Amino acid sequence: MGISAQSYNSPTWEDVGKIDQNGRRILENVGIKVSDLEFLQILDKAGASVDFDTQRVRFDGEWLDKTLSHAPRSFVLHSRDGQHDVHLGEGKVNFTNGGRVFRLFDMGTGGHRSTMLRDVAYTAALVDRLDNIRFYIIACQAHDLKPEFYHLNDFYHSFNHTTKHVMGGCDNFAGVQQVWDLACVIAGGADKLKERPFLSVITNPISPLTVDTTTLNILRFACDKGIPATCAPAPIAGATAPATLAGTLSQLHAEALAGVALSQVFNPGARVLYGAVATAMDLRTAEFTMGSVEMAIMNGFAVKLAKRYNLPIYASGGTTESKVPDIQAGVEKTFSCLTTAMAGADCIHLAAGMLDSCNTISYEQYVIDNEIIGMIHRLMAGVTIDETTLAADVIEKVGPGGNFLTEEHTIGHMMDEFFYPELAVRCNFDLWEERGKPGMLSRAAEVVDRIIEESNEGLLPRDLIAQIEAAFPGLQSI
């Protein structure tokens, strides 16, 4: 028996309200755990309800609303060149990649290898050239680096290979301090960086309902320095959150609102994204499943929760369990990207390059995902209806049995009305055979080779590179 269109259980505002109220009850009755005495004292002074014995911080509803009211409803993720600024909170959907994985699928060998510093540089270069990926999230962990210089090198090689906005996570306070110092040199001073911050920071609470000292220190530093931030909870339904989607969403909402509130305690008006990385577990096998359809549902729903407060959201999509770029990857990625985009997410991260429950990246997958995202943008644009597009005059001119191919109206609209894929095969069978039977994957590999070959020199001026290398001896070449 088929499913009628009317039976699709899309969230109503009443549904969203129920999850919102449940999340607020969690914050008021259960609270979040903060183990650091300094931050407990800060929150107590700010008016939160703090139990120093249990290290619980609870959020009274009136206090929560007042604190959240300081969060900006829109702001810009600045690009370094000013040509690729990302405007959040203005109704636009922006896709980006994901970060900090440990493996790479190598199409040349057909196997997997550990990620290296050069992979940070080359994924940044890919994002720089792929139009539908709006900014760059540092993609992977460099196994050829000493831990104390992870973030310095990550951000430096990112800045050197893309002028788009760069976002990344930091494991420790020393790392975010290094990144700030580096960015100040590139910007030409702290004041200029604060005016147009071309980087942002990802922090993560620990589900369920815990924020550790390192996260708090990094979040406070970012807020104080004017760096946009997200405090993005990643509850796993059935593991670190309830097995029901409504329960996981309630907990995620509590954790996300807590992150926004904390940022406003540290610096009222700080630019912060409501974070959502809701995932699920296959409870038959205890396998982590970021490519599940339930993840798509929850992230789409989370967009509505953020919009209830008019907060820009850092949501998730484009994830898959597939280990290689294949049919499964295409199916799972498209469903989650499309679901979250149609909900109206400001930012959809993980949407490009990710495989294997976000444990692996693939250069070729970046290029394929860029095309999938382009199709989604076209789908969401819908049908433009005006006097010109209705085409009444040209229909009358051509008349019954005519042909529109050579009409000026056709030529005038051929580039703005259609999405033209670069990878998909659109030739007849004989020509396809004659061209060597190309497919999306083989064509993506060609694009990758071209971009990497053109990107070896980097983008930063030579004199600036020399200045940076003198100031930061921990830098390592690729």
Residue-wise pLDDT for 46-61, tens only, equals 999 999 999 999 999 9
**CATH number of this structure's domain 75-381:** 3.20.20.480
The confidence score (pLDDT) of residue 408 equals 97
Query: Mean pLDDT in the chain?
Result: 96
**pLDDT surpasses 80 at 5:** no
3-state secondary structure 312-357: CEEEECCCCCCCCCCHHHHHHHHHHHHHHHHHCCCEEECCCCEECC
Question: How far does the chain reach from its first CA to its final CA, in angstroms?
Answer: 57
Coil/strand/helix, residue 437: coil
Residue with tokens 């708090």: 216
Q: Is the pLDDT of residue 387 over 80?
A: yes
In this predicted structure, the answer to whether residue 69 has a pLDDT above a threshold of 60 is yes
Average pLDDT over residues 15-21: 98
The per-residue pLDDT for 3 is: 41
With bands split at pLDDT 50, 70 and 90, how would you rate the model's confidence at 7?
A: very low
Structure tokens at 235: 């509850």
* pLDDT-above-70 percentage for the chain: 98
Q: Which H/E stretch holds residue 280?
A: strand 279-282
Could you tell me the CA-to-CA distances from 176 to 148, 230, 349, 462 in Å, in that order? 11, 14, 21, 25
pLDDT given for residue 457 in this prediction: 86
Is pLDDT above 50 for 358? Answer: yes
Residue whose pair of structure tokens reads 């109704």 in the numeric block: 91
Sorted by sequence, the CB contacts under 8 Å of residue 177 that are 6+ apart come out as 221
Spell out the domain ranges in the chain: 10-68, 75-381
User: Which of 292, 189, 214, 182 lies closest to 248 in space, CA to CA?
Assistant: 292
Mean pLDDT of 90-101: 95
Task: Tell me the whole-structure pTM to 2 decimals.
Answer: 0.95
Q: What pLDDT does 8 receive?
A: 47
Please give the average per-residue pLDDT across 57-79, as a whole number: 98
Q: Output the six-digit token pair for 165.
A: 């906005």
Cα 109 to Cα 373: distance, rounded to the nearest angstrom: 27
Those residues whose C-beta lies under 8 Å from the C-beta of residue 39, and which sit 6 or more positions away, are: 213, 216
Contact 375, 421 (CB under 8 A): yes
Summarize the confidence of residues 253-263 as an average pLDDT. Answer: 98
Q: What pLDDT is stored for residue 295 in this prediction? A: 96
Q: What is the mean pLDDT of residues 200-220?
A: 98
Cα(292)–Cα(294) distance, rounded to whole angstroms? 5
Question: Over the stretch 301-324, which tens digit does the pLDDT of each residue have?
Answer: 999 999 999 999 999 999 999 999
**What CA–CA distance (Å, rounded) separates 109 from 95?**
29
In this prediction, residue 9 carries a pLDDT of 60
Instruction: Report H helices in 95-160.
Output: 117-129, 150-159
Mean pLDDT for 258-276 is 98
The pLDDT-based confidence of 456 (bands split at 50, 70, 90) is confident
Q: Looking at residue 381, what is its pLDDT?
A: 96
Residues 434, 315: Cα–Cα separation, whole Å: 43
